[in-house]
């Protein structure tokens, strides 16, 4: 498996690289088809941040942590991924046994983050950040599993049944919500 490591505001040492590779290999034993892993290590306000992302088949696994020590941050991020995998191992095994859906091309989606510009005459909006990605066709169960594995607030996907764009999101009460977009 290929491991890409990015250092920000931090010297790239061989010891840190070896530690990341070792932790990714430990996570790899839970996954059948790991293809790539990305690690972003950076220092911010005396806190050591580690973000690990592992691509396994059509699933992405992400763990993030920040502590006073980079090695502890790497360990904590990898432990989060391992806990997610152990928690969802049965679901992943059941998913593998399910018959494969017909292959459908993903849909291109754009996500903009808007900021409000305060103007004395009228408020307006400005695009702060824009991200483009492909919403992959999957079932609702797969999307919820992906939301949990990424430990994200929301996940955009293409419904495999009707090809509509849907969003699953984590509600404040801990439950999962669904937004379905149907053509007019």
Q: What is the gyration radius of the CA atoms in the chain, in angstroms? A: 19
Query: Final residue of a domain: which of 58, 77, 97?
Result: 97
SS3 for 56-100 is: ECCEEEEEEEEECCHHHHHHHHHHHHHHHHHHHHHHHHHHHHCCC
pLDDT at 89: 66
Residue 105: what pLDDT?
Answer: 63
Q: How confident is the model at residue 90 (pLDDT cuts 50, 70, 90)?
A: low
Give pTM, 2 decimals: 0.57
Question: What order of strands is seen across the sheet that includes strand 176-181?
Answer: 137-138, 154-159, 165-170, 176-181
What SS3 class is residue 149? helix
- Asked whether residue 70 is assigned to any structural domain, the reply reads yes
Q: What is the pLDDT of residue 97?
A: 43
Measured in residues, the chain has a length of 184
Q: Evaluate whether residue 39 is within a structural domain.
A: yes
Predicted local distance difference test score (pLDDT) of residue 73: 92
Let me know if residue 102 belongs to a domain. no
Share of the chain above pLDDT 70, in %: 76
For residue 161, what are the β-bridge partners? none
pLDDT in tens, 27-72: 877 776 667 888 999 988 889 999 998 887 767 788 899 999 999 9
| CA 25 vs CA 40, 101, 111, 142, 146: distances in Å | 16, 30, 33, 25, 21
Domain containing residue 129: 107-181
Asked if residue 138 and residue 57 are part of one domain, the reply reads: no
Same domain, 65 and 116: no
Are 93 and 7 members of one domain? Answer: yes
Average pLDDT, the chain: 79
92 and 142 co-located in one domain:
no
Picking from 76, 97, 118, the residue at the C-terminal end of a domain is 97
Q: What is the mean pLDDT of residues 145-170?
A: 85
CATH number, residue 129: 3.30.505.50
In this structure, of 66-70, 116-120, 126-130, the range with the lowest mean pLDDT score is 116-120
What values do phi and psi take at 41, rounded to 5?
A: -115, 125
In a domain, 10, yes or no: yes
Same domain, 26 and 77: yes
Residue 98: predicted pLDDT = 45
Q: What is the pLDDT of residues 8-31, one digit of tens each?
A: 888 888 999 999 989 888 887 777
Cα 154 → chain centroid:
10
**How confident is the model at residue 106, as a pLDDT?**
63
- Give the pLDDT of residue 122: 63
Q: Is the pLDDT of residue 183 over 90?
A: no
Structural domains of the chain, count: 2
């Amino acid at each position: 498996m290929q491991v890409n490591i990015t250092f920000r505001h931090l010297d790239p040492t061989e010891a840190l690289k070896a530690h990341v590779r070792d932790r990714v290999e430990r996570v790899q034993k839970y996954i059948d088809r790991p293809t790539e892993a990305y690690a972003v290590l950076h220092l911010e306000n005396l806190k050591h941040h580690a973000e690990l992302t592992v691509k396994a088949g059509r699933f992405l696994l992400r763990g993030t942590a920040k502590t006073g020590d980079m090695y502890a941050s790497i360990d904590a991020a990898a432990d989060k991924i391992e806990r997610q995998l152990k928690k969802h191992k049965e679901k992943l095994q059941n998913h593998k046994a399910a018959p494969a859906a017909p292959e459908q091309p993903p849909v291109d989606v754009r996500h903009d983050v808007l900021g409000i510009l305060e103007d004395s005459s009228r408020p307006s909006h400005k695009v702060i950040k824009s991200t483009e990605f492909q919403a992959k066709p999957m079932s609702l169960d797969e999307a919820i599993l992906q939301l949990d594995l990424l430990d994200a607030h929301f996940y955009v996907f293409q419904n495999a049944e009707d090809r509509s764009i849907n969003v699953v999101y984590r509600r404040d009460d801990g439950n999962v919500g669904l937004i379905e977009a149907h053509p007019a």
